[in-house]
Amino acid sequence: MALSSTDSSFRTKGSTIRSSGSVFGRAVVASATAYTCGPMGKTREIKKRIKAVGNIRRITNTMRMIATSKFARAQQRATASKPYTEGVFELVRKIGEAGGSGGGASHPLLGGAPGKPGSVARELTLVITSDRGLCGPYNSSVLRTAMAHFRASPVAKSGQIEVVGRKGAGFFKFAEVPIAAMHSFGDKAEYAQIERLAQSYMDRFIAGEISKVTIIFMKFLSAGRQRPEVMQLLPLSAPESKSGEKKAGVEYEFSPPAEQLLATLLPAAVKATLFQAFSDAIVSEHVARMVAMKSATDNAGKMGKRFTRQYNRARQAQITTELTEIISGAAALE
């Protein structure tokens, strides 16, 4: 019985020892796993990250090259249309000056038309954004300018708001700002599409349905500088002559009369101005995407190099651990 009791006690102690040994064993296994298997798992994880970063870098670099190609074509179109727009405005300015001095030539697009009795004409604001993202602060800058304009002018916010691009539509939907219409022209806005949109604005303006048309877009100044701008499209105001420009005192004779010329030139000026705004917005979008994708490509390259260094260090630590285990095992067998 004593033996049995001793045996039982021994077994109890054994179980206690085995229990504590199992806990200790688990701790040893865990530490061994963290010491031996950890670097292997760590190297696998780092290799996956290196591969993922490499894939992202190839994608961003491809998008950068595509944006660069599109930017070159869009910039050529935008710069080619500027002389025409400036020339039309210069003709409008000269005709307006001559008409003002010689008989008061006027047009509804300059001062608006009387609205319908009992109706109140509202302002219309067109916000030009992009359909796709990954273009840096392009959309946020335009939308921030639009919201600042609406806060400064409650009449514009209570009027009709039209948006170009899915990004702007999603922003205004999230901000619970009602949208009257949403347009989409893609990466290359055709003049015929812009002409129809401008004609609809002019018809509604002359009919008295809207009292003012404002365009909010990103103005392209140079490849390194773009600026969000709020531009009044209607009623149209011709640019004034430069401050340093001296009047030659030349009197112009118009045939046909100035009013008939304005009836042709003013709609052309409105269409050209709206098309120029769209061209500047598209060029600015491509520039912003080109810069953003170049920055993302550079950052991915730096991250890939950092992960490669981490992988080399982890691999070196793993090899050192394996060599240590082999040498320790050989020394234990001697």
**pLDDT tens sequence across 47-90:** 999 999 999 999 999 999 999 999 998 988 888 888 888 888 78
Q: Which percentage of the chain shows pLDDT scores above 70?
A: 77
b/e string for 190-213 if b means 16 or more Cβ within 10 A?
Answer: ebebbbebbeebbebbeebbbbbb
- As beta bridge partners, residue 124 has 160, 213
pLDDT level of residue 31 (50, 70, 90 thresholds): very low
pLDDT level of residue 114 (50, 70, 90 thresholds): low
Residues in the chain: 334
Edge-to-edge strands, sheet with 210-222: 181-183, 160-164, 122-128, 210-222, 225-234
Q: How far apart are CA 215 and CA 163, in angstroms?
A: 10
- For residue 9, give every residue at least 6 positions away whose Cβ sits within 8 Å of its Cβ, in sequence order, or none: none
Query: Above 70 in pLDDT, residue 27?
Result: no
- DSSP 8-class letter at 163: E
Distance of CA 61 to the CA centre of its chain: 17
Q: Which percentage of the chain shows pLDDT scores above 90?
A: 48
Q: How far apart are CA 44 and CA 35, in angstroms?
A: 15
Residue 2: its pLDDT value, please? 41
Residue 32: its pLDDT value, please? 35
Strand extents, DSSP E, the chain: 122-128, 160-164, 181-183, 210-222, 225-234
Residue 308: closest CA among 46, 40, 44: 46
Domains, the chain, with CATH or none: 63-239+251-295 (3.40.1380.10)
Residue 249: its pLDDT value, please? 54
Is 27 or 226 the better-scoring residue by pLDDT? 226
How do residues 135-182 score in pLDDT, each as one tens digit? 999 999 999 999 999 999 999 999 999 999 999 999 999 999 999 999
pLDDT level of residue 34 (50, 70, 90 thresholds): very low
- DSSP 8-class letter at 37: I
Q: How many Cα atoms occupy the beta-carbon half-sphere of 124 within 13 Å?
A: 23
How do residues 294-307 score in pLDDT, each as one tens digit? 999 999 999 999 99
Residue 112: its pLDDT value, please? 62
Average pLDDT value for the chain: 80
How wide is the angle at C-alpha 86 spanned by C-alphas 83 and 91, nearest 5°? 120
Residue 98: its pLDDT value, please? 63
Residue 78: its pLDDT value, please? 87
**Which residue do the tokens 């702007």 mark?**
168
The H-or-E segment that residue 63 falls in is helix 38-102
Is it true that the peptide bond before 154 is cis, omega within 30 degrees of 0? no
Ordered DSSP codes for 168-237: HHHHHHHTT---SEEE---SS--HHHHHHHHHHHHHHHHTTSEEEEEEEEEEEEETTEEEEEEEEEES--
Mean pLDDT of 183-188: 86
Q: What is the CA radius of gyration of the chain?
A: 36
Least reliable range by pLDDT among 13-22, 194-203, 212-221, 250-259: 13-22
Query: Above 70 in pLDDT, residue 246?
Result: no
Least reliable range by pLDDT among 59-73, 116-130, 183-197, 311-325: 116-130
| 332: amino acid identity, one letter | A
Residue 191: closest CA among 72, 87, 80: 80
* C-alpha dihedral (134, 139, 141, 144), degrees to nearest 10: -140
Is 20 or 266 the better-scoring residue by pLDDT? 266
- For residue 138, give every residue at least 6 positions away whose Cβ sits within 8 Å of its Cβ, in sequence order, or none: 129, 130, 218, 226, 284, 285, 288, 289
How do residues 197-244 score in pLDDT, each as one tens digit? 999 999 999 888 899 999 999 999 988 899 999 999 988 775 555 544
